Structure 1
């Protein structure tokens, strides 16, 4: 007698075919990424050439794309004045070594943080203020404004801390944060009070520092009677706007004499024009 076949008589399920659309999509993404990288490499070719030619031994301290972008911007603004801004976050600066960026572009001015809010002095302000002057740089001082603290107390702290002399830049108000427990209108009133008190004391109109979005959203119209120092690190911006006095274009620069990354700025003019706006 023949044994019955105990194997399943069910047919196997057909294998699913890989979606051709999915494959094409991922090839497209990969191809787009390659094109983007190659485009950036070509756009910043001079920066990459310099970086790999002269800085290959220092790659642990720098970001390749940031460095290439910085060089591209410096090349585009050849003839304008280049400077930097510093605070205690840069540690103890060896000012006699602070001379150029990329061994080519002279650093001719520096903006130094002096005070924060209504109760704190920058730990390195005094040393930086003296060191910059000894290094024959045009110097300026700025105050980091805290929106939720009394504006006149903040102004008085700055006034007590900073003595401006002939040839120094006008005082700077640094506003970056939105208030937590007050309206935007109250914030603007406080900013006006600080600006007016400082201008009355020094006899020169202050400059306002902020980010580009903050400037566009909150300050551009109501504070149009002031000059602005704008921060924007976007890869899509490579030139200073006509209505900006200073442009802080990077926070990742390497400068001789400074052990930490530092902000670098462009003044929208030449050295003679920069000297013209200094305190008399």
Structure 2
């Protein structure tokens, strides 16, 4: 009889454990579906969904995140970045975010790969300077194309002057036809070629996961501009010079949503970082 009672008790406990585990799994699934986009973004697998595809609740969370970051960095320099994808920009309206947070700088795409020139670079560069924004130009690096040719494409397109930000290398993709070691060699060649020409150390832009996995150790002597859209992150990290904290920002004069950035310092500090 005792043995039977013990067996029955163990069976009952096992059933309770199964039920509890099932409830826990269900809760994880529900939470995962509710925040799947942001959770994957946090892990670095996917970018934010376009604002137009967000649900009402996701839009609310996105807007709250942007406001919290801006409020937390109100003493730091704020900026945005653009390319031909933003179409025609009314630069005379690009003064603030939500009429409260003043914009001080802009990064403008100049080139991509070994032959692409952004169709609106010259127009954007001229008008952003006329608007008295601190301007920086960036190159979108294509891992499977020759790094020196890519550097020369940028050099022949971009004329940097006193008061401009250092040139930027944007690396986001992994190579298809070469090793990671060769990728890093190519990046180093681009950086050294561009630094030799402009006499200033370039900035490297990348996502946080890419930065941690492939760049942080080998390129620690370079300043970094990091993309991290994780809505749990509220503050720029000390090791980042710039933080791109959303791609769903809104600036008057620019059609649609765009990237917003924080510089890890004041406007005066940012001016001191510019080319002398």
Whether these two folds match at TM > 0.5 is yes
Match of 1:192 in 2: 188
Match of 1:163 in 2: 159
- Equivalent of residue 112 in structure 2, options 110, 116, 138: 116
> 1:107-146 maps to which residues of 2 (within 5 A)?
107-146=103-142
Match of 1:254 in 2: 250
Q: Is the 8 A contact 1:111 1:140 kept in 2?
A: yes
Shift of 1:102: 1.2
Match of 2:207 in 1: 211
Q: Is the 8 A contact 1:144 1:173 kept in 2?
A: yes
Query: Greater CA radius of gyration, 1 or 2?
Result: 1
CA offsets per residue over residues 100-127 of structure 1, 9 Å max, x none?
A: 0011000100000000000100111111
Q: Is the 8 A contact 1:210 1:230 kept in 2?
A: yes
Count of matched residue positions in the alignment of Structure 1 and Structure 2: 236
Q: Does 1:238 align with 2:226?
A: no
- Equivalent of residue 271 in structure 1, options 263, 267, 272: 267
- Equivalent of residue 23 in structure 2, options 22, 25, 28: 25
CA offsets per residue over residues 206-242 of structure 1, 9 Å max, x none?
A: 0000000000000101101100000000112111000
CA distance in 2, matches of 1:220, 1:25: 41
CA distance in 2, matches of 1:88, 1:64: 28
Shift of 1:29: 3.7
Higher relative contact order (CA 8 A, sep 6+): 2
CA distance in 1, matches of 2:93, 2:223: 31
Match of 1:97 in 2: 93
Give the 3-state SS of the residue equivalent to 1:181 in structure 2: coil
State the TM-score, normalized to the length of structure 2. 0.81
CA distance in 2, matches of 1:270, 1:250: 20
Shift of 1:243: 0.6
Match of 1:79 in 2: 75
Shift of 1:63: 2.3
CA distance in 2, matches of 1:127, 1:154: 21
CA distance in 1, matches of 2:177, 2:104: 40
For structure 1, the residue ranges without an aligned partner over 5 or more in a row are 1-18, 38-58
Q: Is the 8 A contact 1:91 1:260 kept in 2?
A: no
Match of 1:12 in 2: none
Shift of 1:85: 0.6
CA distance in 1, matches of 2:222, 2:102: 27
CA distance in 2, matches of 1:215, 1:99: 31
Q: Which runs of 4+ in 1 moved over 3 A?
A: none
CA offsets per residue over residues 74-115 of structure 1, 9 Å max, x none?
A: 111110010001111111110000000011000100000000
Give the 3-state SS of the residue equivalent to 1:180 in structure 2: coil
Match of 2:45 in 1: none
> 1:37-56 maps to which residues of 2 (within 5 A)?
none
Shift of 1:268: 0.1
Shift of 1:194: 0.4
